[in-house]
Chain A
Amino acid sequence: MSPNIIDGFSQASQLETILAVAAGCFIGLVVGMIPGLTISTGIIIVLPLTFVLEPEISIALLLGLYVSGMTGGSFSAILLNIPGTPSASATALDGHPLARNGEAGRALGIAITASFLGGLFSFLCLYFIAPLLAEIALKFQSPDLFSLVFFGLTIICSFAAKSLIKGLLSAVIGLAIVTVGQDPMMGTARFTFDQVNLISGIHFLTALIGLFAVPQLTDNFADMMKSETVTKKAANIKSVLPKLADLKLMRLPVIVGAPIGSFLGILPGAGGPIAAFISYDYTKKLSKNPEEFGSGSPQGIAAPESANNAVTGGALIPMMTLGIPGDPVTAILIGALLIHGLAPGPLLFIENGEFAYGLIFSFFWANIFNIVIAFIGLRYLVKVLVIPRTFLMPTIAILCVIGSYALRNNFFDVYVMFGFGLLGLAMRWLDMPIVPLLLAMVLGRQLEEHLRVSLIASKNDVTVFFTHGFSLFFLCLAAASVFWSFWAEHKSKQKQEQLEI
């Protein structure tokens, strides 16, 4: 066994790291279950902490939040028929009918157990696949890396948007924002308007806080009284531990959901909601009792829950090995790593092997604490649902402001955050996804650097991108994702026209 694995395990098992994972899980469950708060918002809330904590501790905290946020989303989906996170939308289809029949505890127990099993499967994928992929990625040269990042961006645009053009535009806007500041090759100041604050560019975490938090805070103006309806149903929870019969029923959905979730997690942009619905659909097709789906089937709860939690480990694979985030949460994890001077990518396993394995084992602990805290604290945790939004939303607002300020101890970043909030509102009005913009901000500098290095090395010969095997492979995948997206959009338009007729 590699010494890095042993060191990583001992790093992840230290008291401070374990406590951070447990705290992250607790916050994740709370944030995930509150409708109107996403996991990204939860991460934004704890973001300032990551600036002062040790890297392994801050990452452990964020991983706990990520894993448990997925599970917490199912609580409100089951109890209120309102998914706490988009990934829990499919869980509500069967979870809420079961809760309505007076079996809320059973539904929650199934959801928690399936989440744990899905998460555990994705941990195994992460543990075995990530080091192998990192080894392959070490062979990549600049043209390959450019094409890989390019593919990452195109596939995110394909998945994230109903309209490919809007997805691509979102990414291009993100790339344009990244060009503000010093040019990565020569250090020339670009688009800085003689502002000292712009020399080092716009920090993507500032953008992220604005893009996610401001639209969410304004949304909550619309439904301020929802918390009042929770109390009666939340109180009606009996035994939560799943019975043996339910565990047997969960075999099929977990076998289907966990691999689907892990695979889709690896694909940048696909994410939890898609995995949950695909898993639900396949389990329904393979189930002996498909007619029960939609009316409180335990399999209908386990399928999406195992899939959406399996996404978490899957999404960490490209993040750790290639430096490509699969979703906004892994993008924030990259940001948190960069703040501590750790660059995710294939070299992470070579230069910081102990840290890389520590991260993997922290993910393992996150899944363990997720199930433990969820089972033990469920009855108390659901009481959070009655916190009035009149307190919750202003608290989030000031935490976002402090988070933006604390990044560089600078009021300028607070204003930039607000500007991005307004941009987020405008993009929502246009039905333009914000995820491509965000990920373009994370990947933009790498994209430019690899493009320019490749061109300099090849003396401005663009065929270099087609003569390298890996590069050609990624470009083909990028083209396929674009064509698939166009085809899907065309089909959707045809469907819309038929409906109009």
Chain B
Amino acid sequence: MSNMRTRNLIAGIILLVLCAGYAYLTAHLPTRAIENTTQPSFFPWVITICMAVLSLALLAQGLLPIANTETPKAIKVPIHRLVSGLILSVAYFVALPLLGFVVANILFFAGLMYLYGERRPLRIVAGSILISLIVFFLFREVFQILLPSGILQGVLR
């Protein structure tokens, strides 16, 4: 079985499961006692049916040789970088409300610079601090977008 057929098969199964979940939630949507009108669940049911039919078709494409299964040219991203990027992003999103945009952005920026291949410590430190501060003040002072300063709230009023 070709690579793309396997992917179609996996995606078909996942989508069918999601479709079942969506159908379950749709079935439990509240109804309105208004005459000659469509219920709030009407459109979600239309979507459920379409999704079910299309997911089954995708599943069939995974099981049978009925479609073009040319696998797209993959961009070779080193997996360790991808995983590190994911971990860094999750840590950043957790820290963001606590630390605020300045501190969290400096740390995130420095981490990303390292992941993108920068190894000179001075560049990482200077770049992450400088750009994060410029972006923060640009948005806050020039564009008047209030960005929470988190733990630096006392310093950056």
Residue of A218, A391, A415, A452 near B43 (CB, 8 A) is A452
What 1/0 flags go to A441-479 for Cβ under 8 Å of B? 000000010011001100110000000000000000000
Interface core residue of B4, B15, B76, B143 (most chain A CB under 10 Å): B143
B139 touches A48 (CB 8 A): yes
B43 touches A459 (CB 8 A): no
Interface core residue of B25, B68, B75, B78 (most chain A CB under 10 Å): B68
Interface core residue of B22, B67, B123 (most chain A CB under 10 Å): B67
Complex CA gap A409/B38 in Å reads: 35
Complex CA gap A250/B69 in Å reads: 40
A48 touches B143 (CB 8 A): yes
B77 touches A394 (CB 8 A): no
Complex CA gap A60/B101 in Å reads: 29
B113 touches A496 (CB 8 A): no
What 1/0 flags go to A426-453 for Cβ under 8 Å of B? 0001111000000000000000100110
A389 touches B116 (CB 8 A): yes
Complex CA gap A186/B32 in Å reads: 9
Contacts of A379 in B (CB 8 A): none
Q: Majority SS of interface residues in chain A? A: helix
Complex CA gap A389/B72 in Å reads: 25
**Does A49 have its Cβ within 8 Å of any Cβ on chain B?**
yes
Contacts of B135 in A (CB 8 A): 395, 398-399, 402
Complex CA gap A172/B57 in Å reads: 14
A398 touches B132 (CB 8 A): yes
Complex CA gap A399/B50 in Å reads: 37
B43 touches A222 (CB 8 A): no
Considering only residues 185-202 of chain A, those with a C-beta below 8 Å from chain B are 185-186, 188, 190-191
Nearest-CB residue, chain B, relative to A415: B93
**Does A339 have its Cβ within 8 Å of any Cβ on chain B?**
no
Interface range, B side: 35 or more
A176 touches B113 (CB 8 A): no
- Using known A-B contacts A169-B15, A172-B47, A222-B76, determine if residue A398 contacts B147 with beta carbons closer than 8 Å: no
**Does A128 have its Cβ within 8 Å of any Cβ on chain B?**
no
Contacts of A350 in B (CB 8 A): none
What 1/0 flags go to A187-230 for Cβ under 8 Å of B? 01011000000000000000000000000011111101100000
B29 touches A166 (CB 8 A): no
Considering only residues 124-152 of chain B, those with a C-beta below 8 Å from chain A are 127-128, 131-132, 135, 139, 143-147
- Tell me the minimal C-beta distance from B37 to chain A in angstroms: 6
**Does A165 have its Cβ within 8 Å of any Cβ on chain B?**
yes
Considering only residues 63-100 of chain B, those with a C-beta below 8 Å from chain A are 67-72, 75-78, 81-82, 85, 89, 93, 96-97
Contacts of B101 in A (CB 8 A): 402, 405
B7 touches A169 (CB 8 A): no
Nearest-CB residue, chain B, relative to A224: B117
A224 touches B116 (CB 8 A): yes
B109 touches A394 (CB 8 A): yes
Residue of B8, B41, B76, B77 near A430 (CB, 8 A) is B8
Nearest-CB residue, chain B, relative to A493: B68
Considering only residues 234-291 of chain A, those with a C-beta below 8 Å from chain B are none
- Tell me the minimal C-beta distance from B26 to chain A in angstroms: 8
Q: Majority SS of interface residues in chain B? A: helix
B145 touches A402 (CB 8 A): yes
- Tell me the minimal C-beta distance from B66 to chain A in angstroms: 8
A221 touches B32 (CB 8 A): no
- Using known A-B contacts A395-B131, A406-B139, A452-B43, determine if residue A411 contacts B113 with beta carbons closer than 8 Å: no
A459 touches B36 (CB 8 A): yes
- Using known A-B contacts A169-B55, A221-B77, A221-B78, determine if residue A398 contacts B108 with beta carbons closer than 8 Å: yes
**Does A6 have its Cβ within 8 Å of any Cβ on chain B?**
no
**Does B115 have its Cβ within 8 Å of any Cβ on chain A?**
yes
Contacts of B70 in A (CB 8 A): 162, 496
Nearest-CB residue, chain A, relative to B115: A221
- Using known A-B contacts A172-B54, A456-B38, determine if residue A391 contacts B131 with beta carbons closer than 8 Å: yes
Complex CA gap A478/B104 in Å reads: 48
Complex CA gap A168/B72 in Å reads: 19
Contacts of B37 in A (CB 8 A): 185, 452, 456
Complex CA gap A220/B43 in Å reads: 39
- Using known A-B contacts A162-B68, A411-B96, determine if residue A218 contacts B82 with beta carbons closer than 8 Å: yes
A165 touches B108 (CB 8 A): no
A409 touches B146 (CB 8 A): yes
Contacts of A430 in B (CB 8 A): 7-8, 11
Complex CA gap A394/B114 in Å reads: 10
A165 touches B143 (CB 8 A): no
Complex CA gap A414/B97 in Å reads: 11
Complex CA gap A410/B113 in Å reads: 26
- Tell me the minimal C-beta distance from A142 to chain B in angstroms: 13
Nearest-CB residue, chain B, relative to A431: B72
Contacts of B25 in A (CB 8 A): 191
Contacts of A399 in B (CB 8 A): 135
Complex CA gap A459/B35 in Å reads: 10
Contacts of A480 in B (CB 8 A): none
**Does B103 have its Cβ within 8 Å of any Cβ on chain A?**
no
- Tell me the minimal C-beta distance from B89 to chain A in angstroms: 6
Considering only residues 371-401 of chain A, those with a C-beta below 8 Å from chain B are 388-391, 393-395, 397-399, 401
Interface core residue of B15, B85, B116 (most chain A CB under 10 Å): B116
- Using known A-B contacts A48-B139, A169-B51, determine if residue A414 contacts B108 with beta carbons closer than 8 Å: no
8 CB-based A-B contacts, threshold 8 Å:
A169-B54, A176-B51, A188-B32, A191-B44, A391-B113, A402-B139, A431-B7, A431-B72
Closest 8 CB pairs of A and B: A394-B112, A390-B118, A188-B40, A183-B40, A493-B68, A448-B43, A390-B116, A224-B117
Interface residues of A (CB under 8 A from B): 48-49, 51-52, 162-163, 165-166, 168-169, 172-173, 175-176, 179, 183, 185-186, 188, 190-191, 217-222, 224-225, 388-391, 393-395, 397-399, 401-402, 405-406, 409, 411, 414-415, 418, 429-432, 448, 451-452, 455-456, 459-460, 489, 492-493, 496
